[in-house]
Structure 1
Amino acid sequence: MKAYIVGVGMTKFEKPESRDWQYWDMAEEAGSKALADAGIPYDLVEQVPVGYCYQASTAGQRAAYGLGLTGVPVYNVNNNCATGSTALMMARQFVEAGVNDCVLALGFEKMKKGALGGGADGGDFKTSPVARHYGVMAARHGFEQTPPTAQIFGNAAREHMERYGTTAEQLAAVGAKNHRHSTGNPNAQFQEAYSVEEVLAAKTIHRPLTKLQCSPTSDGSAAALVVSERFADQHGLMGRAVEITAQAMTTDTEESFASGSCIDVVGKPMSRAAARQVYERSGLGIEDVDVIELHDCFSINELITYEALGMCADGESGKLVADGATTYGGRWVVNPSGGLISKGHPLGATGLAQAAELVWQLRGEAGPRQVQGARTGLAHNIGLGGAAVVTLLRKP
């Protein structure tokens, strides 16, 4: 049974503590927008997977209750930065399996100011779920006092530069591109363009990464209503429906750790495997994709992901972005929303915000950031620890 997204919604992503709202307020806003987008009342929703990372158990129920007290099952989902896409995957599986006809995937995060601890600081290194990942980094690069997530990705960047000759300017080009894209997105946390030179001149977080190459902490929520073909037909929604053509989640294998490389430990093997499964299941390849929302938590991860998705050979991603192949007028438009770097990164909402952007793009509703003629979109969402989710969406 096929699964379709018929409604999406999100809040504006904002700097933590910049707005007087609670996580249930933002979840209600995003969920209500998704339902209104589809023209479907909450009473017809049969299950609700809710993703978040920084709230207590059953916060998913508290978030969903603002939409209605109907007694439907609510699932609390936590998969680090891949949480939102994991909630979407659960919704798709419920529908494709014939368990439900209408499922709302909801994600939110209310975060604190400052850099993510990544589970490796605060004296909790040994018991952290990502201790093995940071241990690989420490064995090769040591462990410094900079934010640990920036540290592990910064070290991946340095390895990429040493191995392939990738330049600081090419890394900065990712940040400049995504900040430029965000100027057309009213939901983005940042909406200001920067040149490559300005990106390079920004404060260094962990060499070679500067602040304008790093995703910020953010508050926000996003949602997607996933339905069966039968439900879409019954409610006259096929004209606005976007098909979830294929989707895959992978987790770490020995390949993630065996090389001792930060490039692998931050998820390149997972991403490559998930993409391969999606291409096999859909019969489509990266050459068939028009628009991509990928997990640019740091600029280096966008370059690593180009290679993992098969957009270029290993080591050629720096040239790909520098040549303009991943922006308007190029082969693909990557992160038209501004990506995590500029749109923002409220962990539990990120994967669903990616889906919302692609739905708007495939419907032709993305306004000034519209990718003309887009019919097929790909989302890539990754969480250290680890989970990689790749989703292929297509307009029927």
Structure 2
Amino acid sequence: MPDVAIVGVGLHPFGRFPGKSALEMGAEAARSALADAGVAWTDMEFAVGGSAEVDQPDAVVAELGLTGLPFTNVYNGCATAGSALGLASRMIRLGEHRLGLVLGMDKHSGGAFTADPTWYACPPWYGEMGLFLTTKFFGMKINRYMHDFGITHRTLARVAAKAYRNGELNPNAYRRTPLSEEEILSSRMLSHPLTKYMFCSPDEGAAAVVVCDADVAKQYTDTPVYLRSTVTRTRRYGAYEVHTPAAGPEHVPAPTVDAAAAAYEQAGIGPQDVDIAQLQDTDSGAEIIHMAEVGLCKDGEQNELIASGATAIGGALPVNTDGGLIANGEPIGASGLRQVYELVNQMRGRAGERQVPNAPRVGLAQLYGAPGVAAVSILSR
């Protein structure tokens, strides 16, 4: 039996919310998760919070209540939420606490294709031409992958179209208008081979989960979801990552490969046991690459799998059933907990219009961020 259970989840919708702070959104997500678990903020023995824009996520206690609980702040790029969840689970496994909250929030300014001179010393045209650091890297990465494994432009479009279809069914998503494959393929090219509608957008939102010692989970809910493993890994020398030149030994695995292997080992299962996955789809190419990196398929098999509908909501292996980052956007601190929110709701059979038939038993959540850090979490019911 796993040592840690998730007994409540909460989400503040993702999008744009003028006049509302990240801390206010975080407090709303926390209250929702607490209500889902049937507990009060005063019951929390500890909290872990993650954010890129909020210097001190612990300041949310001013919204929730000044109870004096220990609160640890975490930032680890796009893997922030996985790192926060891992820290919380270790606190419970070590016996330090039995009940706590994990919270992520962010409020990013608009435009992935801009260049703020304050931060990057780049002229505006640099971003406008699709040359912003991370976006051009993702274009380079999938371009190389397409060359090596025969992935097609049509497959890129199918991934994005699936994201928008799923987003239409998700009342908390940022982008809820379906787009056809042709509309996606014909939209403006930004970082070859990725067009405008193949990228996610930075935005705003928050998510939270209540975790506890698995021994007491049934005190809070009849449908606990167990956290079987959460692993974070950084890049190795020679891995092709955003700040790393393509040098060194060939075929060095990406950090997602290492994180997934360790997560499966800790959970005592393999990729064949996964029923549903939430993968980092900063762009549609990333979802394709990460499918193979977490072992859900072999390199090059994605064309056929995606064309067959296997990764759709009604398919054999649903991926990003809530629309992923492409439909939801990415407030970094909240994004990974949004994945957990979706998995828990799917596994409890309460995902509404986007519910996967026969509620999944095992779910996987994967995060990847610059300069090469990944987190993989495995959940089961």
Instruction: Normalising by structure 2, report the TM-score.
Output: 0.91
Q: Would you say 1:215 and 2:200 are equivalent positions? A: yes
Q: Which of residues 111, 115, 134 is equivalent to 1:114?
A: 111
Q: Would you say 1:247 and 2:230 are equivalent positions? A: yes
Q: Which residue of the partner structure matches residue 48 of structure 1?
A: 47
Q: Is the 8 A contact 1:156 1:261 kept in 2?
A: no
Q: Which of residues 306, 311, 317 is equivalent to 1:321?
A: 306
Q: Which residue of the partner structure matches residue 13 of structure 2?
A: 12
Q: Which residue of the partner structure matches residue 282 of structure 2?
A: 297
After superposition, the Cα gap between the structure-2 partners of 1:282 and 1:119, relative to the gap in structure 1 and judged at 3 Å, is farther
Q: What are the within-5 Å matches in structure 2 for residues 228-247 of structure 1? A: 228-233=213-218, 236-247=219-230
Aligned counterparts of 1:298 and 1:64: Cα–Cα separation in 2:
34
Q: Is the 8 A contact 1:120 1:148 kept in 2?
A: no
Q: Which residue of the partner structure matches residue 84 of structure 1?
A: 81
> Which secondary structure does the structure 2 equivalent of 1:190 belong to?
coil
In the TM superposition, residue 119 of structure 1 has moved relative to its aligned partner by: 9.8
Q: Is the 8 A contact 1:4 1:244 kept in 2?
A: yes
Instruction: Normalising by structure 1, report the TM-score.
Output: 0.88
In the TM superposition, residue 69 of structure 1 has moved relative to its aligned partner by: 0.5
After superposition, the Cα gap between the structure-2 partners of 1:192 and 1:251, relative to the gap in structure 1 and judged at 3 Å, is same
110-119 or 68-77, which moves further after superposition? 110-119
After superposition, the Cα gap between the structure-2 partners of 1:231 and 1:345, relative to the gap in structure 1 and judged at 3 Å, is same
- State the AA in 2 paired with 1:110: K
After superposition, the Cα gap between the structure-2 partners of 1:120 and 1:75, relative to the gap in structure 1 and judged at 3 Å, is farther
Q: Which runs of 4+ in 1 moved over 6 A?
A: 116-121
Q: Is the 8 A contact 1:255 1:269 kept in 2?
A: no
Q: Which of residues 158, 165, 173 is equivalent to 2:158?
A: 173
Aligned counterparts of 2:114 and 2:45: Cα–Cα separation in 1:
36
Structure 2 unaligned blocks of 5 or more = 123-128
Q: Percent identity?
A: 35
Q: Which of residues 292, 305, 325 is equivalent to 1:307?
A: 292
Q: Is the 8 A contact 2:130 2:191 kept in 1?
A: no
In the TM superposition, residue 165 of structure 1 has moved relative to its aligned partner by: 2.0
Aligned counterparts of 1:159 and 1:121: Cα–Cα separation in 2:
32
In the TM superposition, residue 246 of structure 1 has moved relative to its aligned partner by: 1.8
In the TM superposition, residue 237 of structure 1 has moved relative to its aligned partner by: 2.3
Over the aligned positions, Cα root-mean-square deviation in angstroms equals 2.4
In the TM superposition, residue 116 of structure 1 has moved relative to its aligned partner by: 6.4
> Which secondary structure does the structure 1 equivalent of 2:231 belong to?
strand
Aligned counterparts of 1:207 and 1:256: Cα–Cα separation in 2:
21
Write out per-residue CA displacement over residues 13-62 of structure 1, whole angstroms, 9 at most, x where no aligned residue.
Answer: 013xx432011110110000000000101111111111001133xx2121
Q: Would you say 1:194 and 2:201 are equivalent positions? A: no
- State the AA in 1 paired with 2:13: K
Q: Which of residues 61, 66, 70 is equivalent to 1:64?
A: 61
Q: Would you say 1:274 and 2:259 are equivalent positions? A: yes
Write out per-residue CA displacement over residues 300-343 of structure 1, whole angstroms, 9 at most, x where no aligned residue.
Answer: 11011011011221222233222222113322000001000001
Q: Which residue of the partner structure matches residue 361 of structure 1?
A: 346
Aligned counterparts of 2:205 and 2:323: Cα–Cα separation in 1:
15
Aligned counterparts of 1:276 and 1:145: Cα–Cα separation in 2:
34
Q: Which of residues 385, 389, 392 is equivalent to 2:371?
A: 385
Q: Is the 8 A contact 1:102 1:231 kept in 2?
A: no
Write out per-residue CA displacement over residues 133-163 of structure 1, whole angstroms, 9 at most, x where no aligned residue.
Answer: xxxxxxxxxxx86222110000112111222
Aligned counterparts of 2:215 and 2:117: Cα–Cα separation in 1:
47
Structure 1 unaligned blocks of 5 or more = 126-143
> Which secondary structure does the structure 1 equivalent of 2:63 belong to?
coil
Write out per-residue CA displacement over residues 83-112 of structure 1, whole angstroms, 9 at most, x where no aligned residue.
Answer: 112111111111111111011000000111
In the TM superposition, residue 232 of structure 1 has moved relative to its aligned partner by: 2.1
Aligned counterparts of 1:119 and 1:296: Cα–Cα separation in 2:
24
Aligned counterparts of 1:389 and 1:70: Cα–Cα separation in 2:
31
348-357 or 278-287, which moves further after superposition? 278-287
In the TM superposition, residue 359 of structure 1 has moved relative to its aligned partner by: 0.5
- State the AA in 2 paired with 1:70: T
In the TM superposition, residue 120 of structure 1 has moved relative to its aligned partner by: 11
- State the AA in 1 paired with 2:234: T
Q: Which residue of the partner structure matches residue 91 of structure 2?
A: 94
After superposition, the Cα gap between the structure-2 partners of 1:302 and 1:103, relative to the gap in structure 1 and judged at 3 Å, is same
Aligned counterparts of 1:76 and 1:284: Cα–Cα separation in 2:
31
- State the AA in 2 paired with 1:48: A
Q: Which residue of the partner structure matches residue 25 of structure 1?
A: 24
Q: Is the 8 A contact 1:4 1:227 kept in 2?
A: yes
> Which secondary structure does the structure 2 equivalent of 1:11 belong to?
strand
Q: Is the 8 A contact 1:268 1:305 kept in 2?
A: no
After superposition, the Cα gap between the structure-2 partners of 1:323 and 1:6, relative to the gap in structure 1 and judged at 3 Å, is same
